[in-house]
């Protein structure tokens, strides 16, 4: 078998039997190949005993699928290799099966036992792929197997597998909705997961399966808020949209007092004078009731959880993903106090530099926002000026925004812009500009005459479309003050011979008929001309000719009686039944006969009644009842799957439902005494004051990641204290056994007794003993300088061999790092005897970021994928600084480099000793001696950037936390960690 023939078959015979094949290379021989021989070389490669051939075949098959070619006839040959021992082949087989399992369900069912075995594979990618394939088989008979697989995957050690389980939940629900109750239990379990990888996926499953069950969100609300900044981008979008709807049901409207005042000041305007008099008394009563309600209402105080959501989403306005920025913008628009909504304007204006598709969506939402919150976009008026390169739809949306932003101060600038736009070659855009001028004239009375005169000048334009659109807009404007503008009506009557656009002709005829008393000499002549061309006119024009004839018959019957009868006779035999019906109706109404009914007496009142001037409104006026950023808002119609934005509650629901209960055992008095002893340790020691409490790793939700140190442990109500107590109680005996097994180097570095130092370090699980087949690995950040490279963070790794056999050649391989990151591996551990423990130190340069370092931990026979993710507090080293130096450096790091948060200190944390202990536990900082406030200093390990922290205490536990750092992201995350440490 030659490689040339394999290539030829791939090119020539990859499509299915039924579809014709185009674009063959004549030299390929594909034209002459029979269907039954197609892909034979790939099948031979897949049946081969060599993994290299199988891998090559699978790569080519996946490449065919990526190019959109049909490879379904290879399903039997591929599915046989699902049991292949080669990991790379197995991954590609699962990629193929996910694509075709739904089409080839019978063949997929034959291999279901292999997929079930894949769920137990030690490799997390294989376990996840097996679950993905299983959930792609859309056959109800395997629903129990899928349910069992999802439940097991939800408890998997790997966050990636748990994420895949969350993805499988909506698939199973769509296959069998009766499984909803069991799936809700799984969702509830996954919502409690502390890893950022799972959060977005499980919220998506929640939205698909049970969006009405907001009780599942209560306990996880604070955790989701705190995890949000570390979740992947599309997960952030899903979580933000869900939390928007949640907040609308759980918190009070922050603008309730303002909205009541606005309602009280707004008077209902009616068109007819008789109604105004009758409604005056009712309006006064309503005003009095609203005033009483406003007086009785308590002053609004924002719920701390409401503030938490707003505070934690605000940094995401700087996201590079437009969908995330849009999601935060809609959250602020729907939830934030009026004074705070302005922060989203700059972020949305930034998105206008993106692709035209992004601009279209953003401008749709900005157009809606500018109707109610005009002020926040006024400083960015020039950003909405139209470029010649903009597509027509973008131009029209920018026009809409400019029209909404128009007011007395900027109208002259906007009108000058509009004058330029009218000269454009884009006719649709020109028409929209003329309509925009009309709206500006309607909304701002001071420029009405100016706009009207400008539009009249456009009537002499050579472009018929411009003239026609101007006529339509002028007609609407003239209805407001017709008696002042009889000259304009005469001018428009003269244009009736030249304008051919039906809508424009109809508008002129309506104007002449409505105000025929202002042009008594011209109106009959216009009717005469129209009667001549009646049969050749469009239907909309014919209807207005009939109206004009009727009105002139009622006001000037001497001159127009015969003309009217002639027009009515023409209309009587018209092809359009609407026109025939209108003619019969008008004849009976205005021409009195013996059979005429009572209505004919009132013909004049019916035809010549005063009509209200049209209100030119934005098409986006009522769109804000749809959630901004949603497809329904974009279409202005309810799309499938759209969930309504709930109304604000009248009274605030119980906020205690979001409190997370502390387990009873943690309140034991003995534990309290032990905790007090730990607090009394001196904080000046490197190993004591600058290290945090030990944190036991949760085998189900925290394996392979230390991310909860940065964000997951920030849940209000649970926090680090209960974690500390739990780990202390569970690991006292282990600590006593581990004391004599520390290395000599470590013994020299530690200044206090060993058990105290080790208990003060927060440890994370790197490898669970089940996943590691007896080898368990934990790591902690020792906060000691890493001597081989000062720009690296020292990570102390503790190995324990729980198996009955020795483990040899422990080392690190295949480090997968983000750009700029580096790893200094620990020396290879030759032998770790059964039951023994040992400690090694490795260095990692995290580049001043909390991104994870991924690598393989290898023994002589196994490889394990592991991840180390640092808390932000471990990315710095303490520096000594006098108070004067501190103040000087702080003065240079003001403005955007300063982040402040107000807080209320915990009752156990109001003395200086406790504050210092908690701050240095949260981050590797050094206390500034003799400072007026609690001041701390450090430098980041990689870039040597200065980090300054101040905790200024006030009366009754109130305090202000300030972080000054030229790296804004580190400053933001550090504030969050220290805040959590001080308040829980």
Kind of pairing between the strands at 934-940 and 946-953: antiparallel
Give the residue from 566, 594, 609 where a domain finishes.
609
What does the pLDDT read at residue 33? 41
Q: Name the more confident of 396 and 762.
A: 396
Question: Which is nearest to 695 in space by CA: 780, 784, 802?
Answer: 780
What does the pLDDT read at residue 419? 86
pLDDT category at 238 given cuts 50, 70, 90 is very high
pLDDT at residue 796 tops 80: yes
**Could you tell me the two tokens for 291?**
């005033």
Q: H-type helices in 576-718, by residue range?
A: 577-590, 603-607, 631-635, 669-679
Q: How far is CA 856 from CA 167, 381, 810, 811, 830, in A?
A: 27, 54, 11, 9, 17
pLDDT category at 626 given cuts 50, 70, 90 is confident
Return d(Cα 136, Cα 146) in angstroms, integer: 10
Q: Name the more confident of 901 and 692.
A: 901
pLDDT category at 276 given cuts 50, 70, 90 is very low
Q: Which of 106-110, 601-605, 913-917 has the highest mean pLDDT?
A: 913-917
Question: Which is nearest to 687 in space by CA: 601, 730, 748?
Answer: 748
Q: Exposed, middle or buried: residue 838 (CB in 10 Å: 0-12, 13-18, 19+)? A: middle
pLDDT category at 937 given cuts 50, 70, 90 is very high
pLDDT at residue 327 tops 90: yes
DSSP bridge pairs for 813: 856
Query: Has residue 934 been placed in a domain?
Result: yes
Give the residue from 609, 633, 649 where a domain finishes.
609
Residues 194 and 75 in one domain: yes
CA atoms within a 13 Å half-sphere pointing along the CA-CB vector of 360: 10
Residues 773 and 799 in one domain: yes
What does the pLDDT read at residue 201? 93
CATH of the domain at 183: 1.25.10.10
Q: How far is CA 549 from CA 529, 534, 546, 746, 942, in A?
A: 12, 12, 5, 105, 87
Residues 853 and 888 in one domain: no
Tell me the pLDDT tens digit for each residue of 589-619.
Answer: 887 766 666 677 777 777 777 777 667 777 7
Query: Has residue 535 been placed in a domain?
Result: yes
What does the pLDDT read at residue 715? 40
Mean pLDDT value across residues 944-961: 87
pLDDT at residue 338 tops 70: yes
Query: Has residue 713 been placed in a domain?
Result: no
Q: Which single residue is written with the structure tokens 């928007």?
A: 244
Return d(Cα 275, Cα 285) in angstroms, integer: 16
What does the pLDDT read at residue 134? 85
What does the pLDDT read at residue 744? 39
Instruction: Give me the domain span that covers residue 133.
Output: 40-249
Q: H-type helices in 119-255, by residue range?
A: 124-136, 143-154, 159-175, 180-191, 196-209, 215-218, 221-227, 233-250
What does the pLDDT read at residue 663? 53
Give the residue from 870, 901, 916 where a domain finishes.
870
What does the pLDDT read at residue 523? 84
Return d(Cα 789, Cα 801) in angstroms, integer: 30
pLDDT at residue 2 tops 70: no
φ/ψ of residue 810, rounded to 5: -75, 120
Return d(Cα 193, Cα 202) in angstroms, integer: 9
Mean pLDDT value across residues 775-802: 89
What does the pLDDT read at residue 931? 65
Return d(Cα 970, Cα 266) in angstroms, integer: 48
Q: How far is CA 596 from CA 69, 481, 583, in A?
A: 75, 36, 15
- Report the number of distinct structural domains present in the chain: 4
pLDDT at residue 550 tops 70: yes
What does the pLDDT read at residue 565? 86
Question: With b meaning 16 or more CB within 10 Å and e meaning fewer, what string describes 392-418?
Answer: eebbbbbbbbbbbbbeeeebeebbebb
| Lowest mean pLDDT segment, chosen from 162-176, 433-447, 788-802 | 433-447
Q: Name the more confident of 24 and 838.
A: 838
Q: Exposed, middle or buried: residue 70 (CB in 10 Å: 0-12, 13-18, 19+)? A: middle
Residues 851 and 908 in one domain: no
Secondary structure letter of residue 837 according to DSSP: E
CATH of the domain at 979: 3.30.310.10
Q: Which single residue is written with the structure tokens 């909506």?
A: 170
Question: Which is nearest to 920 in space by CA: 703, 682, 697?
Answer: 682
Mean pLDDT value across residues 968-978: 85
Question: Which is nearest to 459 in space by CA: 413, 511, 401, 417?
Answer: 511
Query: What percent of the chain is modeled with pLDDT above 90?
Result: 18
Q: Is the dihedral of CA 389, 395, 399, 401 positive or negative?
A: negative
Residues 898 and 828 in one domain: no
What does the pLDDT read at residue 691? 36
Mean pLDDT value across residues 912-936: 85
pLDDT category at 627 given cuts 50, 70, 90 is confident
Q: How far is CA 728 from CA 443, 772, 797, 874, 980, in A?
A: 70, 24, 19, 21, 20
Average pLDDT, the chain: 78
What does the pLDDT read at residue 359? 92
Neighbours of 97 (CB within 10 A): 26
Mean pLDDT value across residues 876-889: 88
Mean pLDDT value across residues 905-930: 85
Residues 96 and 242 in one domain: yes
Residues 794 and 940 in one domain: no
CATH of the domain at 774: 2.60.40.1230
pLDDT category at 456 given cuts 50, 70, 90 is confident
What does the pLDDT read at residue 94? 80
Query: Has residue 346 been placed in a domain?
Result: no
What does the pLDDT read at residue 559? 79
Cα three-residue angle 800-806-812, rounded to 5 degrees: 65
Return d(Cα 56, Cα 468) in angstroms, integer: 67
| Lowest mean pLDDT segment, chosen from 369-378, 488-497, 791-800 | 488-497
Q: Name the more confident of 132 and 968.
A: 132
Return d(Cα 186, Cα 208) in angstroms, integer: 14
Q: Name the more confident of 486 and 900.
A: 900
Q: Name the more confident of 669 and 524.
A: 524
Residues 812 and 920 in one domain: no
Query: Has residue 95 been placed in a domain?
Result: yes
Residues 821 and 961 in one domain: no
Return d(Cα 662, Cα 722) in angstroms, integer: 7
Q: Which single residue is written with the structure tokens 């719920």?
A: 303
Query: What percent of the chain is modeled with pLDDT above 70?
Result: 80
Provide the 3-class DSSP secondary structure of residue 814: strand
CA atoms within a 13 Å half-sphere pointing along the CA-CB vector of 426: 17
Question: With b meaning 16 or more CB within 10 Å and e meaning fewer, what string describes 691-710?
Answer: bbbbbbbbebbbbbbbbbbb
Taking phi over 0 as left and psi of -120 to 50 as alpha, with beta for the rest, 644 belongs to beta
- Cβ(867)–Cβ(704) under 8 Å? yes
Q: Is the dihedral of CA 399, 403, 409, 414 positive or negative?
A: positive
Collect all residues with Cβ–Cβ distance below 8 Å to 548 and sequence separation of at least 6: 509, 510, 512, 513, 516, 523, 526, 527, 530
Q: How far is CA 160 from CA 82, 149, 187, 232, 702, in A?
A: 20, 15, 16, 13, 11
Return d(Cα 377, Cα 329) in angstroms, integer: 13
Question: Which is nearest to 492 in space by CA: 474, 476, 479?
Answer: 474
Q: Which single residue is written with the structure tokens 């609300």?
A: 221
Query: Has residue 733 been placed in a domain?
Result: no
Residues 119 and 208 in one domain: yes
Longest dimension (CA), the chain: 123
| Lowest mean pLDDT segment, chosen from 43-52, 489-498, 739-748, 919-928 | 739-748
Neighbours of 690 (CB within 10 A): 23
Mean pLDDT value across residues 873-893: 88
- Cβ(173)–Cβ(183) under 8 Å? yes
| Lowest mean pLDDT segment, chosen from 153-162, 606-615, 838-847, 963-972 | 606-615
> What DSSP assignment string belongs to 102-154?
TTSHHHHHHTHHHHHHHTT-SSHHHHHHHHHHHHH---GGGHHHHHHHHHHHH
- Cβ(809)–Cβ(784) under 8 Å? no
- Cβ(942)–Cβ(961) under 8 Å? no
Residues 115 and 228 in one domain: yes
Q: Which single residue is written with the structure tokens 């701002």?
A: 444
**Could you tell me the two tokens for 933?**
């406030």
What does the pLDDT read at residue 843? 92
Residues 865 and 930 in one domain: no
**Could you tell me the two tokens for 260?**
């009541």
What does the pLDDT read at residue 297? 58
pLDDT at residue 427 tops 70: yes
Question: Which is nearest to 245 in space by CA: 128, 330, 321, 319?
Answer: 330
Query: Has residue 402 been placed in a domain?
Result: no
Mean pLDDT value across residues 567-572: 88
Query: Has residue 931 been placed in a domain?
Result: yes
What does the pLDDT read at residue 483? 65
Return d(Cα 781, Cα 762) in angstroms, integer: 8
Neighbours of 288 (CB within 10 A): 11
Q: Is the dihedral of CA 412, 414, 419, 420 positive or negative?
A: positive
Question: Which is nearest to 523 in space by CA: 560, 488, 572?
Answer: 560
Mean pLDDT value across residues 462-469: 77
What does the pLDDT read at residue 6? 43
């Amino acid at each position: 078998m030659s490689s040339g023939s394999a290539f030829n078959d791939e090119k020539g015979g990859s499509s299915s039997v039924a579809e014709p094949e185009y674009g063959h290379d004549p030299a390929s021989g594909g034209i002459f190949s029979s269907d039954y021989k197609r892909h034979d070389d790939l099948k031979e490669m897949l049946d081969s005993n060599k993994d290299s051939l199988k891998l090559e075949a699978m790569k080519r098959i996946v490449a065919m699928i990526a190019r959109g070619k049909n490879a379904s006839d290879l399903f039997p040959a591929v599915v046989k290799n699902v049991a292949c021992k080669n990991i790379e082949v197995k991954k590609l087989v699962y990629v193929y099966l996910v694509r075709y399992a739904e089409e080839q369900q019978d063949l997929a069912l034959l291999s279901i036992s292999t997929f079930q075995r894949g769920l137990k594979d030690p490799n997390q990618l294989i376990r996840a792929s097996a679950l993905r394939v299983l959930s792609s088989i859309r056959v109800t008979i395997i629903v129990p197997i899928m349910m069992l697989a999802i439940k097991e995957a939800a408890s998997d050690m790997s966050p990636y597998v748990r994420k895949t389980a969350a993805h499988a939940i909506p698939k199973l629900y769509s296959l069998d909705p009766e499984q909803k109750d069991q799936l809700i239990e799984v969702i509830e379990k996954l919502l409690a997961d502390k890893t950022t990888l799972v959060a977005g996926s499980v919220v998506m499953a929640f939205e698909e399966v049970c969006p009405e069950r907001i009780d599942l969100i209560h306990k996880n609300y604070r955790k989701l808020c705190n995890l949000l900044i570390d979740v992947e981008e599309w997960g952030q979008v899903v979580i933000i949209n869900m939390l928007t709807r949640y907040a609308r049901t759980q918190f009070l409207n922050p603008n309730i007092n303002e909205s009541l005042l606005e309602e009280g000041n707004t008077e209902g305007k009616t068109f007819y004078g008789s109604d105004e008099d009758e409604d005056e008394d009712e309006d006064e009563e309503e005003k009095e009731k609203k005033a009483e309600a406003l007086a009785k209402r308590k002053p609004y105080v924002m719920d701390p959880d409401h503030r938490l959501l707003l505070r934690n989403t605000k940094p995401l306005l700087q996201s590079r993903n437009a969908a995330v920025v849009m999601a935060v913008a809609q959250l602020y628009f729907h939830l934030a106090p009026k004074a705070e909504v302005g922060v989203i304007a700059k972020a949305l204006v930034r998105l206008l530099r993106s692709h035209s598709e992004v601009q279209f969506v953003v401008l749709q939402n900005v157009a809606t926002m500018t109707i109610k919150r005009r002020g926040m976009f006024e400083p960015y008026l020039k950003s909405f000026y139209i470029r010649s390169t903009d597509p027509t739809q973008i131009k029209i949306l920018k026009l809409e925004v400019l029209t909404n932003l128009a007011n007395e101060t900027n109208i002259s600038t906007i009108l000058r812009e509009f004058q330029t736009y009218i000269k454009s070659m884009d006719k649709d855009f020109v028409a929209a500009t003329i309509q925009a001028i009309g709206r500006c004239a309607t909304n701002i009375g001071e420029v009405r005459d100016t706009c009207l005169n400008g539009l009249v000048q456009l009537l002499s334009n050579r472009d018929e479309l411009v003239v026609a659109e101007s006529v339509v807009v002028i007609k609407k404007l003239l209805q407001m003050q017709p008696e002042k503008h009889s000259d304009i009506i005469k001018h428009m009557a003269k244009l009736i011979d030249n304008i051919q656009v039906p809508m424009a002709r109809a508008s002129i005829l309506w104007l002449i008929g409505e105000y025929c008393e202002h042009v008594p000499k011209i109106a009959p002549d216009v009717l005469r001309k129209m009667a001549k061309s009646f049969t050749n006119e469009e239907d909309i024009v014919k209807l207005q000719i009939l109206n004009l004839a009727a009105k002139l018959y009622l006001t000037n019957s001497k001159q127009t009686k015969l003309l009217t009868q002639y027009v009515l006779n023409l209309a009587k035999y018209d092809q359009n039944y609407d026109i025939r019906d209108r003619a019969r109706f008008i004849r009976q109404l205005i021409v009195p006969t013996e059979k005429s009914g009572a209505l004919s007496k009132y013909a004049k009142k019916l035809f010549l009644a005063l009509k209200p001037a049209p209100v030119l409104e934005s098409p986006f006026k009522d769109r804000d009842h749809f959630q901004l950023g949603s497809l329904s808002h974009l279409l202005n119609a309810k799309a499938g799957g759209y969930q309504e934005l709930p109304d604000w509650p009248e009274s605030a629901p119980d906020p205690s439902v979001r409190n997370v209960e502390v387990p009873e055992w943690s309140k034991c008095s003995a534990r309290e005494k032990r905790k007090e002893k730990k607090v009394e340790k001196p904080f000046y020691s490197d190993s004591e004051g600058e290290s945090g409490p030990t944190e036991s790793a949760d085998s189900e939700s925290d394996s392979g990641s230390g991310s909860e140190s940065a964000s997951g442990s920030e849940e209000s109500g649970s926090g680090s204290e209960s974690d500390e107590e739990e780990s202390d109680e569970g690991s006292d005996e282990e600590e006593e056994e581990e004391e004599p097994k520390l290395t000599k180097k470590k013994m020299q570095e530690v200044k206090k007794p060993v058990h105290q130092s080790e208990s003060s370090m927060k440890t994370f699980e790197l490898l669970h003993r089940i996943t590691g087949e007896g080898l368990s690995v934990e790591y902690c950040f020792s906060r000691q300088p890493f001597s081989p490279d000062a720009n690296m963070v020292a990570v102390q790794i503790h190995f324990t061999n729980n198996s009955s056999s020795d483990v040899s050649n422990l080392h690190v391989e295949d480090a997968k790092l983000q750009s700029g990151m580096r790893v200094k591996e620990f020396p290879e551990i030759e032998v770790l005897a059964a039951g023994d423990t040992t400690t090694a130190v490795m260095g990692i340069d995290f580049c001043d970021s909390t991104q994870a370092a991924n690598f393989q931990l290898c023994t002589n026979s196994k490889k394990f994928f592991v991840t180390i993710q640092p808390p932000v507090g471990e990315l710095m080293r303490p520096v000594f600084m006098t108070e004067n130096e501190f103040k000087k450096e702080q003065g240079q790091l003001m403005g955007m480099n300063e982040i402040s948060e107000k807080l209320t200190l915990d009752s156990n944390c109001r003395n200086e000793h406790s504050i210092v202990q908690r701050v240095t536990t949260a981050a590797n900082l050094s206390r500034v001696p003799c400072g007026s406030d609690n001041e701390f200093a450090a430098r980041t390990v990689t870039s040597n950037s200065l980090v300054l922290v101040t905790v200024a205490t006030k009366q009754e536990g109130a305090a202000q936390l300030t972080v000054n750092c030229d790296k804004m992201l580190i400053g933001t995350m550090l504030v969050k960690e220290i805040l959590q440490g001080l308040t829980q």
